[in-house]
Structure 1
Amino acid sequence: MKNTHPRAPHLPAGLRHRLTRIVALSALACAFAATSPARAAESSALPAEQQNQGVTYITGGVDLDQSTAIKAAMAGYPLVVEVFNSAGGKNEYTAASRLSITNPAGQAVFSTDLQGPFALLKLAPGRYDVKVEYEGQTRQRRIDVTSGRSARATFVFGGA
């Protein structure tokens, strides 16, 4: 097929293929460079992992950067706990609640004061009773943690 476009010179197929690859790789590099600062900011906003009772966890998420970073990291944690306060028809982030996790036999597995609405926990697969206390109210839920995917426990407390 003959190239009839006045500005497109006829190029050998091998050279055209190499130029196409160079342009595609350049575009990919530009796209990656454009998202790298966002990824760096996201990872720097992620709270540091902590250890408590042999469980690695992250808690936080009150400000936008931190909540965005935590949401991006959720898939890497077997258990995600979210705590909200329902006020005026909207779910608002909480900043101070108590999280307790026990096994079905009632033995304590984990407990901490949350520093925001999210807790990401690296728990072993199994069944757990997850309890959250917030402003004198308590909510509890049984959760099955399986390997290869995140279990999510969302707690919504009544507003004022």
Structure 2
Amino acid sequence: MKATTILLAMLSISFSALAQSPTPPELPAEMQPQLQPPLQPPVQAEPQTPTQPESQFREPAGSLAIHAQPQSQNGFTYVCGGVGLDESTSMKRMAKKYDLMSTFSTRNGSYLADINVNISSGDGKATLQTTCDGPILLVKFPHAGTYRIRAAVGDDTQTKTAQIPGLRSMQSMVFVWRAS
């Protein structure tokens, strides 16, 4: 009992000392705690409807953006682009969903754009004619077979042949011109 009385007396003295102590000095402004504004919920973007065919080839949110969009002509589905690191990386990733990836460059390694491309089937019926505005062209062919790919920079034309199997297996074709 004596120990309990002593303990209560000590606590009483401690509390009275705290109650009588002066308030702590004001801290300088740079040392005062900064209050953060309350967090706001994230703003939800409006859902967008796809405007191009084959919208499933768009990159998922949060990944590299691609500006080139798939287009169709005479049964061919194709994408031209690859300008800039983000877009070229994204197109190379998409290439596995296509039959052919063509790259256009000069011998010194510079990429080319504005390439006139003509793809025709062996029977001459299926054709794709476009001007590729970037160094990479991805193509899905309408059916298996042999195709002739012509690529022209100005008056300098190159022709190559591609054998497209019935299965989706991506081929790579590189067109290289002398630097001008």
> TM-score of the superposition, structure 2-length normalised?
0.61
Give the ranges of 4+ consecutive aligned residues of structure 1 lying more than 6 Å apart after TM superposition. none
From 50, 56, 68, give the equivalent of 2:71: 50
From 136, 141, 153, give the equivalent of 1:134: 153
Is 1:112 the counterpart of 2:134? The answer is no
Match of 2:112 in 1: 94
Q: How many angstroms apart in 2 are the aligned matches of 1:96 and 1:137?
A: 13
Q: How many angstroms apart in 2 are the aligned matches of 1:130 and 1:113?
A: 13
Match of 1:152 in 2: 172
Q: Deviation at 1:38?
A: 8.9
Closer, same or farther: CA 148–158 of 1 in aligned 2, 3 Å: same
Match of 2:92 in 1: 71
More helix by share: 1
**How many aligned residue pairs are there?**
120
RMSD: 2.0
Match of 1:59 in 2: 80
Q: How many angstroms apart in 1 are the aligned matches of 2:106 and 2:114?
A: 11
CA contact (8 A) 1:144 1:151 kept: no
SS of the counterpart of 2:109? strand
Q: How many angstroms apart in 1 are the aligned matches of 2:60 and 2:97?
A: 19
CA contact (8 A) 2:74 2:126 kept: no
Is 1:40 the counterpart of 2:62? The answer is yes
> TM-score of the superposition, structure 1-length normalised?
0.68
Q: Deviation at 1:132?
A: 0.1
Match of 2:162 in 1: 143
Q: How many angstroms apart in 1 are the aligned matches of 2:67 and 2:62?
A: 10
Q: How many angstroms apart in 1 are the aligned matches of 2:164 and 2:75?
A: 16
CA contact (8 A) 1:79 1:122 kept: yes
Q: Which has the larger radius of gyration?
A: 2
CA contact (8 A) 2:98 2:168 kept: no
Give the gaps of 5 or more residues in structure 1.
1-36
